[in-house]
Structure 1
């Protein structure tokens, strides 16, 4: 008979849950994880990682089609084999899923596969292959994540109307694609299918694409995507969507209020997420706001012994935020169980980076210029374009810029915003800087290696103070 009593049980094995379980195990706690589908959750199996594999294939295709720009000749027709592209992406996901399985074994974490339902703050039942198991623990961490939201008048059917999950394993290549929503998920899939040769239209209800980003980044991205052949409609809404024999017919109201009907072969809805907090037994145990579990800075809910992390709690809804919360909560639990050597730190939301892997990439951390001004800061902001950066020109990637925002009074770095090649890898420099409470003086004194695109980070800091060297 398997053991059913633990120090900690984690419900959900995404990047929040499995990281929380590993940290609990590292701290000597007897830990179990409950998962109804695949270890690694959405991120590893259906989200962050496999989408990056798809986007990498699209990027290679793009480079192959533009080989002449680099003085290269590729003989014969270059085309995408959609089945092979998807197969590669699934292979990457499988490798990572197996990696998490290995990490659970290595850390002696018991894995209970099945549907978990809380019967109290620190007890649950698991219905799975072994029938029903009753588990108890001193503490339970809820890490059940979230799923794609549906349009009320056009629920996803997997045939013509897709969520991200359908878009990752398409049965056929869309000819004419409608993407509703221009957040990270919508824009990444728009970018992928556009690079794969599909005719793409993006409809965004707000007045600009990637609306959480700095408005300069939004404006640059819209121009770039339009140049790549996409149709971008901002301040627009899909009023009705009908599935037809050939695809979908959409009624779209544009920013001037004009309604037109257009036929598309497929539609991707990327309008936000819904937390997976129903049917888990949470109703009487936690406070919820629109389905999201309300927690303190360490992940505690209102019920003693019951904690929550990740996408089922307030945003930002990002894998790395969930992992960080998982560590914080694990350490807070260990402290409550008498470990005097752990010192958990609450999450500072101002230092959580965001990355979007469209083409060109976007990365940011902290306040936009507008938000900094709204918060009452006197601001110094500067931008440095990639066209002034030798490495970017040599790579043939001279489109993009880095923008930094400082508090004029103290020199504190308030935010950094980038668009262009490899910016998702560069943003971490500013994240470390912000976490260490840097000012412009330290950043100016930092020696950046040459030739790298990261030199444009240095130049943007200099530009904020009227000191840029290469423009």
Structure 2
């Protein structure tokens, strides 16, 4: 059978791959996309989207418990975990179906099956109906990543879970251990803790949310502990002894090992790039610690072969993958493309309280040799935050003292995942403190705290 020929083949239909396919098609390229499991990838089906649906349910449940504070009555408050999960799956399903529609609309040929690079410009696709060969001058690898399984801490789906198990739990945890306090670990800890699980988080680094600014990490930790979470930092889970109804964790802190019993464990200790069985070695593609090595334009060094998203390394964020997808499609179509700068990409964590940041932390800015001016503003000084009943939080801004450039912004509190974009746009437009000070922020909004934090960095704060 003759090989089907395209201008561009994308391997993987997650937020990097499907976006690259759409942009390529918009620019007049003939495009094929190969996906072995679900259109939308992990993000839509087992990651970003269904977790936010779960967290929304726990947020509403939390608010229902606070009804009397708002002058409202809600008796016999409870939840149906099965129904909560069902809603989450429905949301994911709706969006995954939407990707299929977008592929049709943009005339992208979809091949459901496992792809292998069969040589330069050649992709072999194995599906339940057999095998076929596709050819293209340009191929984009967007195969994503999966959860890291540490020896001895492997998931079994019963008592020890990965994110997929935690999204469709076989039971409601009573006593939960979460290993890892990055975004995924903290979001699940927050969800199950809010629903009443006695939750312990173990983090190997010296603080939770280790990529965040230190002040934000400390603030978040205090809030989590107020909600009843136990947090163990500089701690390692050495081993898990499994029984039918419980797991005994051997946790080492300060050289001493203690045993703790749990009925459920969630492992969230990082990710591994999906680089296996693609035929990368035969083509001479460089792989470093399960990630494909690329230049700033996502080129692999093999002519016509690109890698985007999680497989191409940190930051492991859907929006980074999508932007790289657009950039690569534009590059292939002969347009002038701009590389994606990691320090201009915001990170958002949807725990309670939310955490969001962009750019350099205060420590990183100093380490890079900047003389900094730092401003802070607490939620308790903001009328809207108090009216919402969300007075716990803070916004921190870091400026270059010499030029007034906004180097970084860090937030913890209600809705900060939506607020952060204001600073992201500011950084993209190369804003200075003067521009931000002269901007009129609407009242009463949470965004006013962004203004006040800037003013504070320059000794001009009004409401504090």
Please say whether Structure 1 and Structure 2 have the same fold, judged by a TM-score greater than 0.5: yes
Please, which of 349, 370, 390 is the counterpart of residue 377 of structure 1?
370
2:271 alignment partner in structure 1: 273
**RMSD of aligned residue pairs (Cα, Å):** 1.0
1:189 alignment partner in structure 2: 188
CA–CA distance in structure 2, aligned partners of residues 413 and 174 of structure 1: 43
C-alpha displacement at 1:3, in angstroms? 7.3
1:407 alignment partner in structure 2: 400
1:462 alignment partner in structure 2: 455
Alignment of 1:135-146 (within 5 A): 135-146=134-145
* Conserved 8 A contact 2:348-2:356: yes
CA–CA distance in structure 2, aligned partners of residues 148 and 243 of structure 1: 21
Alignment of 1:162-311 (within 5 A): 162-254=161-253, 256-285=254-283, 286-311=285-310
1:49 matches 2:49: yes
TM-score (norm 1): 0.97
Q: How many residues align?
A: 463
Where structure 2 has 5 or more consecutive residues not aligned to the other structure, the ranges are none
CA–CA distance in structure 2, aligned partners of residues 154 and 218 of structure 1: 26
* Conserved 8 A contact 1:154-1:242: no
Where structure 1 has 5 or more consecutive residues not aligned to the other structure, the ranges are 336-341
* Conserved 8 A contact 1:179-1:186: yes
Please, which of 377, 380, 388 is the counterpart of residue 387 of structure 1?
380
1:445 alignment partner in structure 2: 438
C-alpha displacement at 1:257, in angstroms? 2.9
2:358 alignment partner in structure 1: 365
* Conserved 8 A contact 1:121-1:140: no
C-alpha displacement at 1:258, in angstroms? 2.6
Alignment of 1:103-122 (within 5 A): 103-122=102-121
**Cα 1:109–1:3, aligned 2, differ >3 Å: closer, same or farther?**
farther
- Could you list the per-position Cα deviations for residues 311-356 of structure 1 after superposition, in whole angstroms to 9, with x for gaps in the alignment? 0012100000000000000011111xxxxxx210011111000000
CA–CA distance in structure 2, aligned partners of residues 57 and 38 of structure 1: 24
- Could you list the per-position Cα deviations for residues 282-307 of structure 1 after superposition, in whole angstroms to 9, with x for gaps in the alignment? 11321111121011111111111111
2:317 alignment partner in structure 1: 318
* Conserved 8 A contact 2:3-2:133: no
1:434 alignment partner in structure 2: 427
1:33 alignment partner in structure 2: 33
